[in-house]
Amino acid sequence: MPSFGPYELLERLGVGGMGEIFLARLTRQASFEKLLVIKRILPQFSSDVSFRELFCREARLAALLSHQNIVQIFDFGEVEEQSFIAMEFVEGVDVGRLLAERHRLELSLVLTVLEGAARGLDYAHRKRGPDGAELGLVHRDIAPKNLLVSCEGEVKWIDFGLAHLLDGAAKLQGVAGTIAYMSPEQASGRPPDVRSDIFSFGVTAYEMLTGELPFGRSGEADLLEHVEAVRGQEYALPSELVPGLPAELDALLARALEPEPENRYQSIREMSSALELLARQTPPAGHQALGEWVRALLPRDRVCKGVSPTIVSAEPLAGPVLLDVGEESVGSVTTDLVEVSPATDTNAPLAQDNAPEALEPGELPRRSWLWAMGVLLVVALGAAMWARPWWQEERRSSPQETESAGPAEVQLALASTPPGAAVSLDGSYVGETPLELLVPLGEGALELRKLGYEPYVHQLTAQERERGRFEGNIALVAEATTLTFDVAPETASVFVDGALQRSRKVAIEAGSKQIRVSLEGYLEHEEQLTVAAGEQRTLTVALRPLPAVLRVEATPSQVEVVVRAAGQVVQTCTSPCVLSGLVPGPYVVEGTAAHFVKASVDVALRPGEEALANLECKPIVEPEREKRVLVTAQGGKLTSRDDGERRTYMVEHSSGTLKVTVEGHSPDWKVTAASSPYSRLKLDNKTYEQIVYVPLTPGRHILRPMAGEMGTVVFKLQLP
C-alpha cells in the first residue's frame, strides 16, 4: 500500500476540484495503529505559496480545537510539497444525508443534535490561543452536510474554519459557504463573525425540524436573490409546517434568522440558554437513543458495521463514477467533481468536463467495509447525496438464491404498542408502525426500534417466507428508566414525588416527576421533570445559600457605611441600617464621619442568619488651639476668649478698641476685625473698609487701624 509520510494510505475515497481524500493508518511501535482521514491538497494548489501559507495558518488555528463535538485535527503540514491534514475518523453519517432520507427529524432528536452542535460552536467561538487572546474562529459554512452524527449518537462539526479554503468556487464568487444557509452579510461579501454562524445554525435547525429551507432553495440562484429573500422575511413558522411544534421554538428561530446581526442572539451560549428552556418542556432524546435511531435507520452493510480494516476484498474497482456536486448539492457554491464508488446511484448525471484522472482497473482494491467511510469522507469534501433511497436499489441475487429463497418479496402488516416504531428488514429501514407494504425479501431479519423501548427482533420462519406475508401487533417492552442526581452541596437531600432517595442513581417509571432538592441553610430547588421510557437522564442542581441579613449600628449614631466583599463595594447606607439579601460569606464593614477616625470591622455572614456590625468611630483629637495660634499686640492691652471653634481677641487703647475674631482650623482660617471708633484696616499691606470672614493661610499676619491715635495699635497673628 502507498505511504504518505508517516501514514499508510489504505484507500482513496474521493477526489475534488482542490484535493483528494484517503482513509489512512498510522502505525507505531508496540502494535499501535490508528485509523485517520487524510485530506491532501492537489499539487497545483500546493504549489501556490500564498494558498499554502493561508492553508497552514487556518489549519494551525483549527488544530487548537479539542472538543467532543468537533472533528479533531491531529496533524497538518507538507509531504513532498503537498499540503495535507490528518483528522479524526468518525463512523456515522452527516445530517444532510439523514434529511435526504427522512425529510425531517423528530423534535426530541433535533434537540439532541442541536445541543451537541451548540456546545461545539460555543467552544470554538470562545477559544483562546496560547497567549490568552481570542482566536476569533468562525466556521463560515454551517450546514447539515458539515454536521456528523456517529453511530454512538455523537454530534461533530467538520472542516471548522477550513471550509472556505476547501471550497473550489470560493474564489469564483468571492464568498465561501452554502448559499441557502448564508447570513445576508456573509452573502454580501462582508467578513462573517459568530453571529453569521448563528444565522446559518438557525437555518440548519429550521430544516431539521420542517424538512424545508426558510428562504427557499436559493442555492442555485445568485447571492443577491438570497439576500433579498432573507431581508423579505417571508417564511412559514415551523409550527405552521409541522403542527404540534411549540410556539417557543418559533420565537427562538425567528430571532436567530433576523437579517440584522445586532438583532440576533449575540452568542451561541445565549441561544443555548433558550434551547435549554425549550428542552424542559420537550426533553431531548439523548445521545444513546440518537445513536440507536441512526443504526436502525441506516443499512448495516454501509455504516456502523465495525468490520476490521484488515479484511480486504480482492475485487478491483470497476471504474469511477463522477458526480457533479455543483448540480446536486442544494445551495452549494462548490463546483468540485467528486469520485465515489460505483455503489452510488448510476442514474446520477455524468460530468463531462474537468473530470479527475480515472483509476486503472485493480489499482486499489474494493473493501465492503469502506463503503461507510467513503460516504463519510466524501461528504467532508462536499459530495452529493444519493439520488434515490437505498431501500429502492436493486437487490442482486445469484441464480441459486433465486431458486431456493421462495418469494422475492414479503407483505408486511405491522402495528406496535406504542406506535411509531422504526421497522427494518434485513438491515434496511422500510417505515414506521403502523404500516402495510410490500418490500424486497432477503434473509428475513425483521427488527423494530423505538426510543425508550427494547428492540424487537424476529427472524421470518420458512412458513412465513413461503407465505410471503408477516403480520402482527408487537407489544414493545419499555427499557429501564434511570435518573442520576448531581447535586451541590453533596449533603443535600433529594426527593422524587415526595419520597426521599437514598441513592444518587435511581430507577423510576417514565412520566412526569416532582423533584425537590433541599438542605438546611440553602434555598430549596423544585422542578417538574418529564422522563421518557428508557431514558438515562442526569439532573444537575447547585443549591444557592439562603441570603443573610446585616444590621449596622455605630457611634456616633449616624456614619456613612460601606460594605465590601473581596475588596468590592457591595452596599452602602447611613447607620443605623439593615441590609438584607446578602450572599453568605466574609465581609468588611467600614464607617466614616466628619471629625471622627474611620472605623472598620470584619463580619462573617451565615446562611439565613442575621449578624450585627458595631462601628465605634473615635473623635479626632487636636492640640489646644492656644498652643497653635499665637497673638501679640502693641499699643494696647490684649484680652482673649475661646468659644471652641471661635477665638475672640480685644486690644484696648486709650482712644478706642480693636476687636479680632479667628475661626476654623488649619489650613482653613478666617478672620473678622472691626475698630471702634470706625477706622479702615490694613491687613498684610492690603487696606480694607471692613474685614469680615477674610480667609487666611497658615503663617504670620499683621493687622492695624489706619485712623487717628488708633494707628499706633499693631495686632500680630501667627497661624499654624
pLDDT tier for residue 175 given thresholds of 50, 70 and 90: low
pLDDT tier for residue 188 given thresholds of 50, 70 and 90: confident
pLDDT tier for residue 521 given thresholds of 50, 70 and 90: confident
The single-letter code of the amino acid at 107 is: L
pLDDT tier for residue 421 given thresholds of 50, 70 and 90: confident
Which listed residue (48, 94, 122, 141) is catalytic?
141
Question: What separation in angstroms does the CA of 537 have from each of 156, 505, 506?
Answer: 21, 10, 10
Question: 612 pLDDT exceeds 80?
Answer: yes
pLDDT at 382: 39
Question: 262 pLDDT exceeds 80?
Answer: yes
Over residues 276-294, mean pLDDT:
83
pLDDT at 17: 62
Over residues 223-242, mean pLDDT:
87
pLDDT tier for residue 362 given thresholds of 50, 70 and 90: very low
pLDDT tens sequence across 5-18? 888 998 887 776 67
pLDDT tier for residue 328 given thresholds of 50, 70 and 90: very low
pTM, whole model, 2 decimals? Answer: 0.46
Question: 149 pLDDT exceeds 90?
Answer: yes
Residue 362, number of CB atoms within 10 A of its CB: 12
Q: What angle do CA 654, 655, 656 make, to 5 degrees?
A: 100
pLDDT tens sequence across 308-322? 333 222 222 222 222
pLDDT at 109: 92
What is the percent of the chain with per-residue pLDDT over 70, rounded to a whole number?
A: 79
Pair 197, 180: CB distance under 8 Å:
no
List, edge to edge, every strand of the sheet that includes 548-555.
577-582, 548-555, 610-616
Instruction: Go through 675-710 and write b for each residue having 16 or more CB atoms within 10 A of its CB, e for each that does not.
Output: beeebebbbeeeeeeebeebebeeeebebbbeeeeb
pLDDT tens sequence across 466-511? 888 888 899 888 777 788 999 988 889 999 999 999 888 888 877 8
Rounded distance between C-alpha atoms, residue 260 and residue 262, angstroms:
6
Q: Which residue has the higher pLDDT, 32 or 94?
A: 94
pLDDT tens sequence across 32-77? 788 888 888 888 777 777 777 777 777 777 788 888 899 988 888 8
pLDDT at 629: 77
How many residues does this entry show for the chain?
720
In the residue annotation, 141 being an active-site residue is answered as yes
Class of residue 467 by CB neighbours under 10 A (exposed 0-12, middle 13-18, buried 19+)? middle
Rounded distance between C-alpha atoms, residue 657 and residue 483, angstroms:
99
pLDDT at 332: 32
